[in-house]
């Protein structure tokens, strides 16, 4: 039975990836560098912010003397966008209320900085739903290393096999699978909803019932085999 849920933040609970992309574009424009929509989607989408910029600097052959300034500007512009655009999403809030009513332990993990995570949770009014939150500053190893999710699972006190990680990033899902946790993968354009959550848990419930039936059959066959042997 799944007792705990770990949510990705950007692209899962808060649609922050588009805002980060806007911040990157705004910072690059200061240096007359342009990244097309196709390049963002095909090459950089789903990468952690630092990895995205590192890859972009290499791909666009950005001079090293500009890189630190572009990183600083991206952070500033992104923080400003969060302050302006991040707000409560009513369906998401209602979904979290339902999960909380089911005594689901919940944590949130993000590849953004602590201050950015704080702004997103505060502006979307989701802070109080989570017993813990972890960001890239809380771990040594970046994704796809599973340290980020391992920290959250250990803090919740729930085995990985009783936990689901809800994410849209391939690296994040790979990390969760390494731990043996269940995963609920969202498509990049897909918005998390109560219906998706309910469908996932229904599948898990049915799968658990099937396993119980199979185990019952195996046990019955074993008993019948032993009875035949004794007779």
Q: According to the model, what pLDDT value does residue 224 have?
A: 52
Q: Is residue 149 part of a domain?
A: yes
Same domain, 110 and 10: yes
Same domain, 8 and 54: no
pLDDT 10s digits, 60-104: 999 999 999 999 999 999 999 999 999 999 989 989 988 888 888
Q: Report the CATH number at residue 164.
A: 3.40.50.1000
Q: According to the model, what pLDDT value does residue 54 have?
A: 93
Same domain, 25 and 120: no
Same domain, 177 and 116: yes
Q: Which of 63, 85, 107 is the last residue of a domain?
A: 85
199 pLDDT band, cuts 50/70/90, is confident
Percent of the chain with pLDDT over 90: 56
pLDDT 10s digits, 18-52: 899 999 999 999 999 999 988 888 888 777 788 88
Q: Which of 85, 111, 130 is the last residue of a domain?
A: 85
pLDDT 10s digits, 94-135: 899 888 888 889 999 998 989 999 999 999 999 999 989 999
Same domain, 178 and 103: yes
Q: Which of 85, 100, 133 is the last residue of a domain?
A: 85
Listed residue (187, 197, 142) closest to 46, CA to CA? 187
Whole-model pTM: value is 0.82
Which runs of E-coded beta strand occur in the chain?
A: 4-8, 105-109, 132-134, 163-167, 182-185
> Which residues make beta-bridge pairs with 14?
10
C-beta atoms surrounding 57 within 10 Å: 17
Same domain, 42 and 142: no
Q: Is residue 27 part of a domain?
A: yes
Q: According to the model, what pLDDT value does residue 7 have?
A: 95
Q: Is residue 121 part of a domain?
A: yes
Q: Is residue 228 part of a domain?
A: no
Same domain, 57 and 95: no
Q: Is residue 75 part of a domain?
A: yes
Q: Is residue 199 part of a domain?
A: no
Same domain, 142 and 183: yes
Q: Is residue 34 part of a domain?
A: yes
154 pLDDT band, cuts 50/70/90, is very high
Distances (CA, A) of 206 to 48, 102, 194: 35, 18, 18
Same domain, 50 and 92: no
Same domain, 144 and 46: no
Percent of the chain with pLDDT over 70: 89
Q: According to the model, what pLDDT value does residue 155 have?
A: 93
Same domain, 109 and 77: no
Same domain, 138 and 31: no
pLDDT 10s digits, 167-184: 988 889 999 999 999 999
Q: Is residue 229 part of a domain?
A: no
Q: According to the model, what pLDDT value does residue 203 have?
A: 80
CA gyration radius for the chain? 22
Q: According to the model, what pLDDT value does residue 231 have?
A: 56
Instruction: Name the residue range of residue 28's domain.
Output: 17-85
Q: According to the model, what pLDDT value does residue 225 have?
A: 61
143 pLDDT band, cuts 50/70/90, is confident
């Amino acid at each position: 039975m799944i007792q705990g849920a770990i949510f990705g933040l950007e692209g899962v609970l808060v649609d922050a990836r588009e805002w980060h992309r806007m911040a990157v574009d705004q910072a690059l424009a200061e240096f007359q560098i342009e990244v097309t929509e196709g390049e963002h989607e095909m090459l950089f989408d789903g990468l952690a912010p630092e990895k995205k910029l590192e890859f972009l600097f290499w791909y666009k052959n950005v001079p090293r003397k500009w890189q630190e300034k572009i990183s600083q500007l991206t952070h500033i512009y992104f923080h400003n966008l969060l302050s302006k655009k991040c707000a409560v999403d009513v369906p998401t809030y209602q979904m979290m209320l339902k999960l909380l009513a089911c005594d689901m332990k919940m944590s949130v993990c993000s590849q953004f900085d602590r201050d950015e995570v704080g702004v997103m949770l505060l502006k979307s009014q989701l802070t109080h739903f989570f017993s813990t939150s972890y960001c890239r500053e809380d771990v040594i190893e970046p994704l796809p290393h599973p340290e980020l999710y391992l920290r959250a699972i250990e803090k919740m006190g729930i085995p990985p096999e009783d936990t689901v990680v809800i994410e849209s990033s391939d690296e994040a899902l790979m990390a969760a699978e390494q731990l043996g946790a269940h995963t609920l993968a969202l498509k990049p354009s897909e918005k998390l909803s109560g219906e998706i959550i309910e469908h996932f848990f229904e599948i898990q419930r049915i799968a658990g019932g099937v396993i119980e039936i199979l185990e019952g059959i195996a046990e019955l066959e074993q008993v019948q085999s032993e009875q035949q042997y004794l007779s």
